[in-house]
């Protein structure tokens, strides 16, 4: 798939991110704390989601929300997961939207990832991809090539925690049963 530029965010593209499927990549540097996107959400009430949504593709995309599960309309549904996210998000229950912002300076060519939290419902391919990149770097170094800017950016240091909410609130099928307890207690 050729990278698809986004009209409202000229520096961002949706592109094939290998084993993770499609993802969001920036073509320009993004300073820390920049608001990257504001996605309105579509709310699925708990009873509807429990009866139907959780058995569908929606379950790969929905966020935990007050009163149910929410689908982020726009970029919010396209961020892949990383254990070292460079994007944080905050849910705005009143206005029914999610704000995404840069947790650190992000380099040109980096994929923008959030954290889905500890309970993933798929094998995390980030490590796999990193080892593939590492192998490639070793081969390229042997051949005198120094690697692309993206390769270098992706091997950077871990991201520090942010006051932004991380994706303990991003839910997949295996964490659904915790939803209401956690929401009720907050
Ligand atoms: C919200 S979607 C992200 C967009 C998705 N890649 C796509 O092409 O539509 C979440 C899904 O992306 C994939 N995904 C996200 N992060 C991943 C990762 N680190 N490793 C493997 N798969 C990942 C999983 O299939 C997950 O269910």
Atom 14 (ligand 1) nearest CA: 20
* Top-confidence residue, 133 or 55: 55
Q: From ligand 1's centre to the CA of 113, what distance in Å?
A: 10
Atom of ligand 1 nearest to the CA of 170: 1
- Angle 51-52-54 from CA coordinates, rounded to 5°: 100
ipTM score assigned to the predicted complex:
0.99
CB distance 111 to ligand 1 below 6 Å: no
pLDDT number for residue 54 = 94
Rounded CA separation 102/32 (Å): 5
Domain containing residue 145: 4-185
Mean pLDDT of 153-170: 36
CB distance 91 to ligand 1 below 6 Å: no
Q: Write the Ramachandran bin of 87: left for phi over 0, alpha for psi from -120 to 50, otherwise beta.
A: beta
pLDDT number for residue 156 = 28
Q: From ligand 1's centre to the CA of 60, what distance in Å?
A: 7
In the predicted structure, residue 186 carries a pLDDT above the cut 60: no
Q: How confident is the model at residue 143 (pLDDT cuts 50, 70, 90)?
A: low
Specify the number of domains making up the chain: 1
CATH assignment at residue 73: 2.170.270.10
CB distance 16 to ligand 1 below 6 Å: no
Q: From ligand 1's centre to the CA of 21, what distance in Å?
A: 6
Atom of ligand 1 nearest to the CA of 78: 4
In the predicted structure, residue 70 carries a pLDDT above the cut 90: yes
Task: Identify whether the C-beta of residue 164 lies closer than 8 Å to the C-beta of residue 85.
Answer: no
Mean pLDDT of 54-64: 95
In the predicted structure, residue 15 carries a pLDDT above the cut 90: yes
Atom of ligand 1 nearest to the CA of 125: 20
């Amino acid at each position: 798939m050729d990278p698809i530029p986004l009209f409202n965010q000229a520096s961002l593209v949706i592109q094939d991110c290998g084993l993770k499927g499609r993802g969001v990549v920036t073509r320009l540097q993004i300073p820390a704390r920049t608001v990257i996107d504001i996605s309105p959400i579509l709310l699925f009430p708990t009873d509807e989601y429990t009866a139907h949504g959780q058995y569908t593709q929606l379950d790969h995309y929905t966020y935990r929300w007050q009163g149910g599960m929410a689908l982020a309309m726009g970029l919010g549904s396209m961020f892949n997961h990383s254990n070292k996210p460079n994007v944080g998000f905050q849910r705005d229950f009143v206005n029914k939207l999610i704000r995404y912002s840069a947790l650190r300076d992000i380099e040109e060519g980096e994929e923008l990832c959030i954290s889905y939290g500890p309970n993933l419902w798929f094998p995390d391919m980030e490590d796999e991809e990193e080892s593939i990149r590492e192998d490639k770097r070793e081969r390229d170094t042997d051949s005198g090539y120094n690697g692309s800017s993206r390769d270098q950016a992706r091997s950077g240091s871990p991201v520090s925690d942010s006051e932004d909410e991380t994706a303990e609130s991003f839910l997949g099928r295996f964490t659904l049963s915790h939803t209401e307890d956690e929401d009720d207690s907050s």
